[in-house]
Amino acid sequence: MSDLSHLRADFPILHQQVAGHPLVYFDSAASSQKPRQVIDSLVHYYEHDNANVHRGLHELSNRSTTNFENVRKKVASFIGAASDEEIIFTRGTTEGVNLVANVWANQFLKPGDEVVITGMEHHSNLVPWQLATQRSGATLKYVPVLDDGTLDMAALDELLAGPVKLIACVHISNSLGTKNPVQEICAKAKARGITTFIDGAQAVGHVPVNVREIGCDFYAFSGHKMCAPTGIGALYARAEVMDQMQPWHGGGEMIETVTMERSTYKSGPARFEAGTPDIAGVIGLGAAIDYLERVGLEAIQEHGRELTTYALEKLVALPGLRLLGPPIGVDRGSLAAFTLACAHTHDLVEFANTQGLALRGGHHCTQPLMKRFKAPGTSRASFYFYNTKAEVDRMIDILQQAIAFFS
């Protein structure tokens, strides 16, 4: 395995005891930890450059604006967009979905239209489409999930033959780890003139992402899952699609001219960024991208694959453990979701916490998926490049203790 353990020194938070044990943080799918370089970028920004962007003509505002706009370029290149004009800063994936499910959907959905999503969507890529279809009189349909945690692609073909206007699909499932064939899905949709939205919350910063290769119209992600601060993310909107979209929030910085009767609006991402943005968050996102590029996305992906396979092989050997998602050997995201016959997931996660192990338990914001797999919830261990095999061994040891305790 590519040894990235020296990078742990960059993450101050990892070097602490919880309940008298060394912390094992296996909850990066919920939110990743932040390296010193990202934390320092925030301090540096507030100590040296802090001023509002796009407004002043003074030195600090100019500096702040240049740094802010440089990050837009960095994000564009990080995810393979054609131009920084295709990058809208958001609070995260949820806001990206809501922007499209409000603006685009209000303009283009009408009664009789269909929106297709999948049975493994996070609530943030589901509820906004429920709201949008309810508002417009369109119908929401779901691509079923097969027993092995993959999408039913034959059913997808049938669904796309209907009067579908948009398909929204998660790139990597936060509950199963499934890596969906987003490129294939977008090609099928494009052939029928269907608009495509990809939820990249679990993909960006974990695997190399190129929106032009994927061929999607929209791609949303969150900074906090890829070493950046909370409260910042981005939405990629292909230029031709963005150009057709009306504004969402009204306010400062998104206008060209304002009279008492009406306003005209800026073109490009500024039209969707009303008000003072999370400038420090954007600076932190830029520092996170710099950091991840230095480590290398290929190395991060490889590390994730190896550590996850190592964990899965040990997990399935535990008595009474049921693994959800694709079988071992199938390429998947860096997480393992499971149930134990002897313990409720909340009891298990609380037990793990007494040993310094941070797991996540519950429905992971995918209630329809939990129903599909007849699981009230699962325990989830999710990994990032700062995790090690020794930590996986520690998890297995704790789970063995838990099995002895609860049986």
Q: Name the 3-class secondary structure at 218.
A: strand
Residue 89 or 351 with smaller CB distance to ligand PMP: 89
CA separation for the pair 263, 120 (Å, rounded): 41
Angle between helices 93-108 and 127-136 (to 10 degrees): 20
Which of these segments, 196-204, 211-219, 236-244, 389-397, binds ligand PMP (CB under 6 A)? 196-204
Q: Name the 3-class secondary structure at 156.
A: helix
| 174 is a contact residue toward ligand PMP (CB under 6 A) | yes
DSSP 8-state symbol, 325? S
Residues near ligand PMP (CB under 6 A), total: 14
Residue 179: CB minimum distance to ligand PMP, A: 12
Residues numbered 108-147 forming contacts with ligand PMP, rule: CB under 6 A = 122, 124-125
Residue 235: CB minimum distance to ligand PMP, A: 11
Which of these segments, 17-25, 86-94, 263-271, 286-294, binds ligand PMP (CB under 6 A)? 86-94
Which residues, in sequence order, are CB contacts of 57 under 8 Å at separation 6+? none
Within 13 Å and on the Cβ side, how many CA atoms surround 363? 15
Q: Which of 79, 166, 170, 336 binds ligand PMP (CB under 6 A)?
A: 170
| 101 is a contact residue toward ligand PMP (CB under 6 A) | no
Q: Which of 199, 217, 273, 391 binds ligand PMP (CB under 6 A)?
A: 199
Residue 62 carries which side chain, given as an amino acid letter? N
Residue 222: CB minimum distance to ligand PMP, A: 3
Are the C-beta atoms of residues 360 and 30 closer than 8 Å to each other? yes
Which of these segments, 89-97, 152-160, 319-327, 341-349, binds ligand PMP (CB under 6 A)? 89-97
Which of these segments, 129-137, 197-205, 267-275, 277-285, binds ligand PMP (CB under 6 A)? 197-205
| 65 is a contact residue toward ligand PMP (CB under 6 A) | no
Site string for ligand PMP, 278-317 (x = CB under 6 A): ----------------------------------------
Residues numbered 215-234 forming contacts with ligand PMP, rule: CB under 6 A = 222
Residue 51 or 127 with smaller CB distance to ligand PMP: 127
Residue 316 carries which side chain, given as an amino acid letter? V
Q: Which of 94, 308, 355, 379 binds ligand PMP (CB under 6 A)?
A: 94
End-to-end, the C-alpha distance of the chain in Å comes to 35
Which residues, in sequence order, are CB contacts of 124 under 8 Å at separation 6+? 93, 94, 97, 199, 201, 365
CA 200, 204, 209, 210 dihedral sign is positive
Q: Which of 41, 150, 202, 387 binds ligand PMP (CB under 6 A)?
A: 202
Site string for ligand PMP, 354-383 (x = CB under 6 A): -----------x------------------
| 28 is a contact residue toward ligand PMP (CB under 6 A) | no
Rounded-to-5 percentages of helix, strand, coil across the chain: 45, 20, 35
Tokens of 13: 């938070």
Read out DSSP for 250-297? -STTSEEEE-SS-EEE-SGGGGG--S---HHHHHHHHHHHHHHHHH-H
Residue 232: φ, ψ to 5°: -140, 145
Residue 223: CB minimum distance to ligand PMP, A: 8
| 100 is a contact residue toward ligand PMP (CB under 6 A) | no
Read out DSSP for 314-369? HHHTSTTEEEESSPTTS-B-SEEEEEETTB-HHHHHHHHHHTTEE-EEE-TT-HHH
CA separation for the pair 178, 186 (Å, rounded): 17
Residue 225: CB minimum distance to ligand PMP, A: 7
Residue 191: CB minimum distance to ligand PMP, A: 26
Which residues, in sequence order, are CB contacts of 204 under 8 Å at separation 6+? 78, 79, 221, 225, 226
Residue 205 or 351 with smaller CB distance to ligand PMP: 205
Residue 117 or 343 with smaller CB distance to ligand PMP: 117
Residue 183: CB minimum distance to ligand PMP, A: 18
Residue 172 carries which side chain, given as an amino acid letter? I
CA separation for the pair 167, 165 (Å, rounded): 7
Residue 118 or 125 with smaller CB distance to ligand PMP: 125
Catalytic residues: 365
| 93 is a contact residue toward ligand PMP (CB under 6 A) | yes
Q: What residue ranges bind ligand PMP (CB under 6 A)? A: 30, 92-94, 122, 124-125, 170, 174, 199, 201-202, 222, 365
